[in-house]
Chain A
Amino acid sequence: MTFLTAEMPSYTYAVKGEKLLRSGGCECMIARKEKTSSESCGYLLKISGKCRDALKILDRYAVPYKVISDGGA
């Protein structure tokens, strides 16, 4: 189940975020945006499982993101 979906500015940051989160014990996967947003096409980081630290991890490593759905992670 996806708890949090973050829009990533590029594939590079999506995969960097994915690796950092996985090494921090957060389950996640990269997905292509299903719907083209007003900004552009791109990639999402879907974070599953309870991972309250996910955003802190991304912030700590200066990985840019935009939360587009927060399921309570």
Chain B
Amino acid sequence: MINFDNAATTFPKPAAVRRAVSVAMRKFGGNSGRGGHELAMLTSAALYSARETAAEFFGAQPENVIFTMNCTHALNMAIKGIMADGGHMIISSMEHNSSARPAAALALKNKISLSAAEVFPENERTVESFRSLIRKDTKAVVCTIAGNVTGQLLPFREIGQLCREHGICFIADGAQACGIIDVKMSDGINILCTSGHKGLYGITGTGMLITDGKFPITPIIQGGTGSGSLSLFQPDILPDSLESGTPNIIGAMSVKAGIEFVRSIGTDKIFRHESALCQKFITLIEKNDDIIVYRSPSAEYVPIVSFNIRGMPSEKTAALLADKGFCLRAGFHCAALAHASLGTENGTVRYAPSVFSTENDTVSLVLQLTKLKNY
């Protein structure tokens, strides 16, 4: 089995991540921030160290790192928390449903007004698209750093700058970018939402919301935090205000190990390796007129390639490849807006390598694809 579905979740995980999970299972069995006994204190210290690692990696303060279930969870917290009192919000036309659905849900109930900025291959046009939609009551911009369908890299630093000029909260979705390109809060990001289990190589069920603290986030979940226990009101300090209930401590330790793994290699090197595989893949399949690649020469991409065999539904292509042991995701990738923009009525097949993917496996995939077009 050869996995090229790493944009959904990376697999395999690094040995260091597997070890960290095993250690956490054996040593950090207490609850964090709740209790003063040795097990609780050991566990609390471990979770704090995971916050520190993430904070250092993204250029944030440890207390501003909120562990979540996944990126969707983080985006829901950010969108609903920032827009709690209404206002206007702008999302991009490349958003995953993790942003688009909570935004649409608020708009459908008339709690917010919502605009979608068209994304173009050219960065200047995309930035202008966002600029043209800004209103006096625009409170937040939600934008993916890299689209999950084609991997198009959006001009997030320029959009961050635009938001800063207008005092707008910039919520960035880093699910397809974190661990692959260097993302820092100083890039103009006010709230960074990311998964922990993709480019950061943690286990599934992990994500993070990281804030610079400039825009208070109203919690959408209230509960036990280990602090202010006698008050019926949610604490207003971070991370407690946004982290009710027992956190996924084992997951957080896996994310810490994953970030350390990424840092030991370097995002530049990871990006170059995976991009080289994408380039090899494209070069080989573009020789074939029956294969469509969804890329523009004017745009920049993270290491993801969306493609189709002409005349064959994407799901059929992926199913035939799966029969040969290749794992690729087909369909609409939980991204209605992006597929609508691309005009891909039958979805696409997505090639998404990881740091562990090889050129040999990529060539084998292309050989299988060449055989499939005859079906």
Contacts and interface: CB of A to CB of B under 8 A. Distances in A.
Interface stretch (B4-12, B41-49, B108-116, B137-145): B41-49
A40 B229 contact: yes
Contacts of A16: 48, 62-63
Nearest to B239: A12
B230 A10 contact: no
Contacts, number: 55
B298 interface: no
B62 A39 contact: no
A12 B63 contact: yes
A43 B41 CA distance: 11
The DSSP consensus for interface residues of chain B is loop
A15 B45 CA distance: 8
B230 A11 contact: no
Interface size range on A against B: 10 to 19
13 contacts: A9-B237, A9-B240, A10-B227, A10-B237, A11-B32, A11-B226, A12-B63, A13-B237, A15-B44, A38-B230, A39-B228, A39-B231, A42-B228
The 4 tightest CB contacts between A and B, nearest first, are A32-B36, A11-B33, A40-B229, A10-B227
Interface of B: 32-33, 35-36, 41, 44-45, 48, 51, 62-63, 225-231, 235, 237-240
Given A9-B227, A13-B63, A15-B48, 16 more contacts: A9-B240, A10-B226, A10-B235, A10-B240, A11-B44, A11-B226, A12-B62, A12-B239, A12-B240, A13-B237, A16-B62, A16-B63, A32-B35, A39-B228, A40-B229, A42-B227
